């Protein structure tokens, strides 16, 4: 009986995930793993997935199938052993940061600055759309790419410099007002270091999520795929430069300023949590 309840809970979580992300059954099969023992139960919930493809995915991350499904196991890729999470757990992470999971919701007095960071093509905007829905008190998402698209919808790359200036101006405005906000960045420069220091002095809580990719070539392929589907272009040289600088800058300059930070490996279909503090 307990086993059947657990399988029903899994099926409901799959349905919730599919609905939240607008995924097709085929897409969901790429993201989640299921074991043969759970397959008939999932079919009865009208979520028909390919167990063979899911098991192959679990093998890629060197995890048990059940662990990959539930996001509670350990992966052992080339980087070593890490805790793993899938998109189904991102909302929980957001709730924990905002105080919903660890205890009753309390009125937050400190404004928040949340940075979704990583190289071009790392999936920052997709991550932000899921994560920020549960970020308490964060009503503003500042994104230079979106600003550039507004300035020059047909050729947003031509408006990148102007968009950067407008972004900094907006961040200064929000900071002066003491409002919580989130922004997206590759962290390939020192642009935000002084601003974050001033924000901390003024009582801001700094939270950073960094999405890693295994190579600059993967980042370039992701950007090319995005362009084919109507997304914005980034020159290959810029992608490589930002890839090479972003992670060292995060480790040396930005992570020490963060009250909360998390690092995900996002090269595969499922983002895996590598490190988190606290």
Residue 7 has pLDDT above 60, yes or no: no
pLDDT higher at 254 or 61: 254
Q: Domains of the chain (ranges plus CATH)?
A: 2-70 (no CATH), 88-277 (3.40.50.300)
Min mean pLDDT across 162-171, 174-183, 237-246 is at 162-171
Residue 275 has pLDDT above 60, yes or no: yes
Q: CA 29, CA 203: separation in Å to the nearest integer?
A: 44
The pair of three-digit structure tokens given for residue 214, joined into one six-digit string: 């295994």
pTM of the model: 0.64
Strands 272-277 and 260-265 turn out to be antiparallel
Residue 90 has pLDDT above 60, yes or no: no
Among residues of the chain, what percentage have pLDDT more than 90?
40
The pLDDT assigned to 29 comes to 52
Strand ranges inside the chain, DSSP E = 74-77, 80-83, 112-117, 140-142, 181-185, 205-212, 260-265, 272-277
- Band (pLDDT 50/70/90 cuts) for residue 149 is low
Q: Check residue 203 and give left, alpha or beta (phi > 0: left; psi -120 to 50: alpha).
A: left
The pLDDT assigned to 89 comes to 43
Residue 251 has pLDDT above 90, yes or no: yes
The pLDDT assigned to 262 comes to 96
The pLDDT assigned to 249 comes to 98
The pLDDT assigned to 43 comes to 41
The pLDDT assigned to 269 comes to 84
The pLDDT assigned to 9 comes to 56
Residues 203 and 180 sit within 8 Å (Cβ to Cβ): no
Q: CA 258, CA 198: separation in Å to the nearest integer?
A: 13
Residue 83 has pLDDT above 60, yes or no: no
- The dihedral of CA 216, 235, 185, 251: what is its sign? positive
Mean pLDDT, residues 39-45 taken together: 42
Residue 271 has pLDDT above 90, yes or no: no
Among 4-8, 64-68, 136-140, 158-162, top mean pLDDT goes to 136-140
Length of the chain, in residues: 278
The rounded mean pLDDT for the chain is 72
The pLDDT assigned to 2 comes to 54
Among 3-12, 14-23, 79-88, 231-240, top mean pLDDT goes to 231-240
Q: CA 207, CA 255: separation in Å to the nearest integer?
A: 9
The pLDDT assigned to 264 comes to 95
The pLDDT assigned to 231 comes to 82
Give the three-state DSSP class for 88.
helix
**What are 129-147's pLDDT values in tens digits?**
888 877 878 889 888 776 6
The pLDDT assigned to 107 comes to 47
pLDDT higher at 121 or 71: 121
Closest by CA to 239, choosing from 226, 256, 229, is: 226
Closest by CA to 253, choosing from 182, 185, 194, is: 194
Mean pLDDT, residues 91-106 taken together: 40
Q: CA 177, CA 46: separation in Å to the nearest integer?
A: 49
Count of CB atoms within 10 A of residue 108's CB?
A: 13
**What are 114-128's pLDDT values in tens digits?**
999 999 999 998 888
């Amino acid at each position: 009986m307990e086993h059947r309840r657990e399988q029903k809970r899994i099926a409901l979580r799959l349905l919730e995930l599919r609905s939240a992300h607008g995924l097709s059954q085929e897409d969901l099969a790429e993201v989640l793993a299921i074991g043969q023992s759970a397959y008939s139960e999932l079919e009865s919930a009208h979520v028909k997935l390919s167990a063979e493809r899911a098991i192959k995915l679990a093998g890629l991350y060197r995890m048990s199938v059940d662990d990959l499904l539930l996001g509670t196991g350990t992966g052992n890729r080339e980087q070593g052993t890490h805790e793993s999470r899938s998109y189904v757990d991102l909302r929980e992470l957001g709730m924990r940061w905002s105080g919903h999971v660890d205890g009753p919701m309390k009125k937050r007095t400190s404004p928040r600055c949340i940075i979704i960071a990583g190289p071009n093509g790392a999936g920052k905007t997709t991550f932000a759309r899921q994560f920020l829905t549960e970020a308490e008190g964060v009503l503003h998402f500042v994104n230079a790419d979106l600003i550039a698209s507004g300035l020059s919808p047909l050729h947003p790359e031509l408006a990148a410099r102007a968009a950067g200036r407008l972004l900094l101006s907006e961040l200064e405005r929000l900071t002066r007002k003491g409002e919580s906000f989130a922004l997206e960045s590759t962290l390939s420069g020192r642009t935000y270091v002084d601003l974050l220091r001033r924000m901390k002095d003024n009582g801001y809580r700094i939270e950073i999520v960094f999405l890693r990719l295994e190579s600059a070539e993967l980042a370039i392929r992701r950007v090319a795929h995005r362009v084919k589907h109507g997304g914005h272009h980034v020159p290959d040289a810029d992608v490589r430069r930002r890839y090479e600088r972003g992670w060292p800058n995060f480790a040396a300059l930005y992570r020490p300023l963060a009250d909360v930070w998390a690092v995900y490996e996002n090269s595969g279909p499922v983002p895996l949590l590598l490190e988190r503090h606290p």
